[in-house]
A and B are shown apart, each in its own frame.
Chain A
Amino acid sequence: MTRLAYYPGCTLKTNAKNFEDSAIATAEKLGIELVEPERWNCCGTVHSLSTDDVMHHLAPIRNLLRMEELSNAGEVDSKQVVTLCAMCYNTLKRSNMVFNEDSDRKKKIQDNMYKEDIQYSGNIEVLHYLEVLREMGWDKVKESVVKPLNGLKVAPYYGCLLLRPRGIGIDDTDNPTIMEDMLEALGAEAVKFAYSQKCCGSYNTVHMKEVVADLAYKILKQAEESGADMLITACPLCEYNLGPRQSEVEKKYPVFKTIPVVYFTQLMALAFGLDEEATVFTGNKPDPRPLLRDKGLLEE
């Protein structure tokens, strides 16, 4: 087992527990132990874009310091940290970049963390779980597949923060293939669709849910018209806006037909033949299980 530091983030412990459970189980199957540090805090959720902002980089950098402590204590095998949530990934990675490239702000961040036992070196590498899989090789992922997802047409929804801005994203900003490659390794058919990188409305879901329903409608309808049976995502906020928020879409667009949206790790768990404690499809709205039963991928 390779031991890899793991940063969960807030929503992975609540609404997106199915994301975490399926990721940990699939990683284990691939020989990776995801090691969560005893203490961690909010990543900040959104990267602070103003040039004079120091305060909001403390939360992400403090998390990276926790990962460095894990590494120093020999509890993990590398100076890397893996995230599942696209927003955590983006925030941690960008703050790390600010820390390493802006010496003025680096000093201020360090000065504000004087109560820590050690100083953060800047040497932790932030990875997304999909990158870990790509690094391992899709052939290796394929070896773990016992139930290929034959006949399942899946639209990969990337959203924003996995790919943008340039230099931060896990794949080519304009023409990503990482999720398609993963789906292919699982035996599923990847469906390209025009809105796979269009924003779901993000945090506007709190006070402008009708607008988010418009965006979700466009994205989901496009996926369906392109032939997809379902969508996958890597972000708990996208999952919420495109999944549970379909009830709002239905209110606004009576013609709309619901379509399942799951985390990519859940499909991995299914293809790896893992049990329902690993797939946790009970946590998704709309329920993906009727579709998966229809396709012969899930027992009655």
Chain B
Amino acid sequence: MSYPKSKLVLRMGPKNKYFKDRVTELSGENVDLCFQCGACSSGCPMTQEMDYLPSKIIRMVQLGLEEALESKTIWVCTTCFNCEVSCPRGIDIANVMEALRQLVLRKKYNRVSLDDLSPEELRDLPQIAIVSNQRKLTA
């Protein structure tokens, strides 16, 4: 039995495949499970600060689009796990966000610097804030 050939063909280049494989490996998540329901985006507390919604980032990874690494979204994510508990497909989205951050951070990139803080701010901020901030957003 033969099937009619679709006119729309989506071909993934080697670069796209490499990127997608790296994210899959680092996150341990199968992003192809996502069917774009948007539950993650609807519960996310940080969407007003994002350029791409979390669900869109997942779509970009599905397609192997490295532009995901340039998004603001991956840096404003607070790792609150709200997306993760609402995903009907069981994708740990926070792990995917972490993998994307790691791919950038591991090239010795620092998103934030304590040099930007005044001495007063440094004194007032609790350690828990500073340590977690540096752990998440610096190389």
Contacts and interface: CB of A to CB of B under 8 A. Distances in A.
Interface of A: 9-11, 14-16, 42, 44-46, 48-52, 56, 85, 87, 160-161, 164-166, 173-174, 197-199, 201-208, 211, 214-215, 236-237, 240, 244
Nearest to B80: A199
B98 A50 contact: yes
Contact of A45 (B92, B95, B98, B128): B128
Contacts, number: 122
27 contacts: A14-B126, A14-B127, A46-B79, A46-B135, A48-B98, A49-B27, A49-B95, A50-B26, A50-B99, A51-B27, A85-B128, A160-B82, A165-B81, A165-B84, A174-B85, A199-B45, A199-B80, A203-B132, A203-B137, A204-B46, A205-B125, A205-B129, A207-B117, A211-B46, A211-B76, A236-B128, A244-B124
Contacts of A174: 85
B98 A202 contact: no
Contacts of B88: none
Pick the most buried of A52, A165, A198, A203: most chain B CB atoms within 10 A of its CB: A203
Nearest to B29: A51
For chain A, what secondary structure do more than half of its interface residues adopt (helix, strand, loop), or is it mixed? loop
B85 A49 contact: no
B76 A208 contact: yes
A202 B126 contact: no
A208 B46 CA distance: 11
Contact of B80 (A11, A85, A164): A164
A11 B127 contact: yes
Contact of A165 (B76, B85, B116): B85
A201 B26 CA distance: 25
Interface string B53-77: 0000000000000000000000010
Contacts of A10: 127-128, 131
Nearest to A195: B45
B40 interface: no
Contact of B129 (A51, A214, A237): A237
A206 B95 contact: no
B126 A16 contact: yes
Contacts of A160: 78, 80-82
A16 B92 CA distance: 31
B32 interface: no
Nearest to B113: A207
B115 to A, nearest CB: 11
Interface in B81-122: 81-82, 84-85, 92, 94-95, 98-99, 102, 112, 116-117
Contacts of A165: 81, 84-85, 92, 94
A207 B28 contact: no
B133 A206 contact: yes
Nearest to A12: B128
B129 A203 contact: yes
Contacts of A46: 79, 132, 135-136
